[in-house]
Structure 1
């Protein structure tokens, strides 16, 4: 009887060791798969990652880069993972890592209809009313596709066509002012532009200062930085702030690679 119990104990112990070995092997395989998918982490200490709002940088086997960055959205911080090719010039893919934007509006940044725009395109990018800005050198000159983004209004254009999903008092007031010819865009024959409430706090402050004639006209000075070609992207209707936040993370990642990583 004792021999039988002794033998059962040995068998049980062997099974436990075998099970632990299988579990360890599975975890090792899983960890290797995660590393293969996300790449090899790069130490960005001393690269001013905070300035670019870049949290992490990974490299993939083909030499491309995955930049993890954040920017302030409408209701939350939006974190993205942007894959650039080895030159840092081209965006290969975009992933939303985390966000807490308004369901059905800002949360649309996670949908394929929005994300699919960012496959195999040239960086940096531009969405409505977004300045292409290097966090270290300031605003840069833009050229290329973004140079002719102003849309002129045809004779049959109605301000009611602008952003129909936004029924806020501010948006309705903008439509009324445009129809009455009291906005610069209507006077210039342009389609209705983004209302003040859709702008960032910094842009709102700038617009108010300009209205009070407290700023030097931007047309008298050339923006700082070298000219860059930009790619125009479609913002999500009713979610301009969320769209701009995603674009900011992409552009910050682009400038981070060009200025802090590849030019070292």
Structure 2
């Protein structure tokens, strides 16, 4: 009977410690979530969107909008020249060799073409798959029309794959292919 009481005491103590630690972690997570998002916006997405929508005269970070399409939220960065929207960018996801990757796609609102592509996060192999982040690859998307086949040439598309990083290249193409159909709906909401 004495052993039974000791086991119960141990369970109560461990449960209490676990609960306190769990609540502590939840509080820290809630407290830092907004700050983490802000830092991600300033240090990851900000430089990428500024590169894709180069030539915009507005503050791309401040002039962003949250748009919901098919119950999915998208943060849309709106590029302006002389006060009028000329481009927009948002992030979609794809799957590369190393797993999930986030790809920001920019669109020219005037010509209905791609303004550019940038990778905001990935888990690709350094020096191989990570080369999809280089300008030599991402610039191949620029000025392509919306009806282009955003696949690598080996799959019947218009994009040259990075040598040795075919799967990573397919991942970026897949994210772009996924993001292009959303453009018209997002454009309507941005321009209204």
- TM-score, L = length of structure 1: 0.42
In structure 1, the residue matched to 2:94 is 71
User: 1:92 is matched with which residue: 115, 126, 133?
Assistant: 115
Gaps of 5+ in 1: 1-29, 131-148, 150-230
Sort the Cα spacing of 1:263 and 1:41 in 2 relative to 1 into closer, same or farther, 3 A: closer
- For 1:242 and 1:39, the matched residues in 2 are separated by 32
In structure 2, the residue matched to 1:193 is none
- For 1:39 and 1:90, the matched residues in 2 are separated by 24
- For 2:103 and 2:71, the matched residues in 1 are separated by 15
User: 1:59 is matched with which residue: 78, 87, 98?
Assistant: 78
Q: Which structure has greater helix proportion?
A: 2
Aligned residues: 129
- SS of 1:44's equivalent in the other structure is strand
- SS of 2:109's equivalent in the other structure is coil
Sort the Cα spacing of 1:75 and 1:93 in 2 relative to 1 into closer, same or farther, 3 A: same
- SS of 2:66's equivalent in the other structure is coil
- For 1:129 and 1:49, the matched residues in 2 are separated by 34
> Is residue 261 of structure 1 aligned with residue 186 of structure 2?
yes
Sort the Cα spacing of 1:109 and 1:39 in 2 relative to 1 into closer, same or farther, 3 A: farther
- For 2:145 and 2:62, the matched residues in 1 are separated by 22
Give the deviation of 1:115 after TM superposition.
1.6
Give the deviation of 1:87 after TM superposition.
5.0
Structure 1 residue ranges, 4+ long, deviating more than 4 angstroms after superposition = none
> Is residue 122 of structure 1 aligned with residue 141 of structure 2?
no
- For 1:78 and 1:92, the matched residues in 2 are separated by 20
In structure 1, the residue matched to 2:166 is 240
Deviation string, structure 1 residues 166-198 (Cα, Å, up to 9, x no partner): xxxxxxxxxxxxxxxxxxxxxxxxxxxxxxxxx
In structure 1, the residue matched to 2:124 is 101
Q: Which has the higher contact order (CA 8 A, sep 6+)?
A: 1
In structure 1, the residue matched to 2:177 is 251
| RMSD (Å) for aligned C-alpha atoms | 2.9
Sort the Cα spacing of 1:127 and 1:80 in 2 relative to 1 into closer, same or farther, 3 A: same
- SS of 2:67's equivalent in the other structure is coil
Give the deviation of 1:117 after TM superposition.
1.3
- TM-score, L = length of structure 2: 0.57
Gaps of 5+ in 2: 1-41, 51-57
Give the deviation of 1:262 after TM superposition.
4.0
